[in-house]
């Protein structure tokens, strides 16, 4: 079985079409699927909408809810804890990454990888509008700083598509400290610490309307998170 973990915070508009896309498939890679949506304290109709899907797909869809917004890392951790599949896939609620990437990720896991990290392909920066270009530059700068400070062996730490073997994912997410942006970095560092085999898969992010990320404040928060992780790493 394949477990697909989807953290969701106020995703009443973007989550439904992505669930329809996933649930239209009886199986993936010739294996049955379970979809685990973790409602991260949403204040909109996210939970109610997922419950309506459950009425149609009770055998495939599970819903777990946090009592308040605790961050993407906390939501994914809860989903991984409840995952029963042989393989666990992390995907964003906005459907930024197509289900077509699940098959090659599973093949890599079957061939010996313990953790597969999505790595976004470089876009054509000449066609970007100023806002998207600024976001791209900040993202690349963040990855360079992260690799330099933490000696992390990954070119794209923040990609929302990740996959792993169930036992490896359970070990990586056990007692995870970072609940927000930093959890992506922490799981890679923990995978390296445990000696897990990490491979990367090239992916393209689909356009996602309605992003709520505030570029500048989020970048400052992420930088502070990296510095905190570095301090804790050296302390331990």
Question: Is residue 114 a part of any domain in this protein?
Answer: yes
Question: Is residue 153 a part of any domain in this protein?
Answer: no
> Residue 174 gets which letter from DSSP?
T
What pLDDT does residue 211 have?
55
104: tokens are 């090659």
Name the burial class of residue 115, with classes exposed (0-12), middle (13-18) and buried (19+) by CB atoms within 10 angstroms of its CB. Answer: buried
Strand partners, 120: 203
- For residue 92, the domain's CATH number is 3.90.550.10
Q: Quote the CA–CA distance of 218 and 97 in Å, as a whole number.
A: 21
Q: Quote the CA–CA distance of 18 and 234 in Å, as a whole number.
A: 41
Question: Is residue 13 a part of any domain in this protein?
Answer: yes
pLDDT digits over 48-78, tens only?
Answer: 999 999 999 999 999 999 999 999 999 999 9
What's the Cα-to-Cα distance from 59 to each of 33, 49, 143, rounded to whole Å?
Answer: 9, 17, 39
pLDDT digits over 112-167, tens only?
Answer: 999 999 998 776 666 666 766 666 777 777 777 777 777 787 878 889 999 999 99
Question: Is residue 50 a part of any domain in this protein?
Answer: yes
Question: Is residue 118 a part of any domain in this protein?
Answer: yes
Q: Quote the CA–CA distance of 10 and 47 in Å, as a whole number.
A: 9
What pLDDT does residue 234 have?
60
> Where does the pLDDT of residue 225 fall: very low under 50, low under 70, confident under 90, or very high at 90 and above?
confident
Q: Quote the CA–CA distance of 99 and 103 in Å, as a whole number.
A: 8
Q: Around 74, how many Cα atoms within 13 Å sit in the side-chain half-sphere?
A: 13
Residue in the block written with tokens 């990437």: 101
199: tokens are 């491979």
**Residue 129: helix, strand or coil by DSSP?**
coil
Q: Quote the CA–CA distance of 96 and 86 in Å, as a whole number.
A: 24
Question: Is residue 132 a part of any domain in this protein?
Answer: no
Question: Is residue 236 a part of any domain in this protein?
Answer: no
Question: Is the CB of residue 82 less than 8 Å from the CB of residue 62?
Answer: yes
Q: Quote the CA–CA distance of 174 and 160 in Å, as a whole number.
A: 19
What pLDDT does residue 199 have?
97
pLDDT surpasses 80 at 217: no
Q: Average model confidence (pLDDT) for the chain?
A: 87
Q: Which residue segment(s) compose the domain that 170 sits in?
A: 2-125+158-207
Q: Which residues of 28-58 are buried (b: 16+ CB within 10 A; e: fewer)?
A: beeeebbbbbbbbbbeeebbebbeebbeeee
Q: Number of folded domains in the chain?
A: 1
What pLDDT does residue 78 have?
97
Taking alpha carbons only, the member of 196, 191, 173, 157 closest to residue 77 is 173
What pLDDT does residue 219 have?
66
**pTM (predicted TM-score):** 0.87
What pLDDT does residue 62 have?
98
Strand partners, 66: 40
With a CB cutoff of 8 Å and minimum separation 6, the contacts of 96 are 160, 161, 205, 206, 208
Pairing label, strands 2-8, 87-90: parallel
What pLDDT does residue 48 have?
98
Question: Is residue 218 a part of any domain in this protein?
Answer: no
């Amino acid at each position: 079985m394949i477990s697909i973990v989807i953290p969701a915070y106020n995703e009443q508009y973007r989550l439904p079409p992505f669930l329809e896309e996933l649930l239209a498939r009886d199986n993936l890679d010739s294996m049955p699927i379970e979809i685990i949506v973790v409602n991260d304290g949403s204040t909109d109709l996210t939970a109610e909408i997922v419950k309506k899907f459950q009425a149609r797909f009770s055998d495939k869809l599970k819903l777990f809810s946090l009592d308040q917004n605790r961050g993407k890392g906390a939501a994914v951790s809860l989903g991984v804890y409840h995952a029963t599949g042989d393989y666990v896939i992390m995907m964003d609620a906005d459907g930024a990454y197509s289900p077509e990437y699940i098959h090659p990720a599973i093949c890599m896991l079957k061939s010996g990888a313990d953790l597969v990290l999505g790595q976004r392909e470089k876009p054509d920066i000449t066609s970007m509008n100023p806002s998207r270009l600024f976001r791209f530059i900040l993202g690349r700068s963040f990855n360079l700083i992260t690799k330099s400070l933490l000696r992390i062996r990954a070119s794209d730490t923040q990609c929302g598509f990740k996959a792993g073997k169930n036992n490896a994912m359970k070990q990586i997410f056990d007692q995870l400290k970072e609940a927000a942006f930093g959890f992506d970095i922490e799981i890679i560092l923990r995978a390296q610490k445990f000696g897990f085999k990490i491979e990367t898969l090239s992916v393209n992010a689909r356009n996602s309307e309605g992003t709520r990320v505030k570029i500048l404040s989020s970048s400052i928060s992420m930088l502070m998170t990296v510095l905190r992780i570095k301090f804790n790493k050296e302390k331990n």
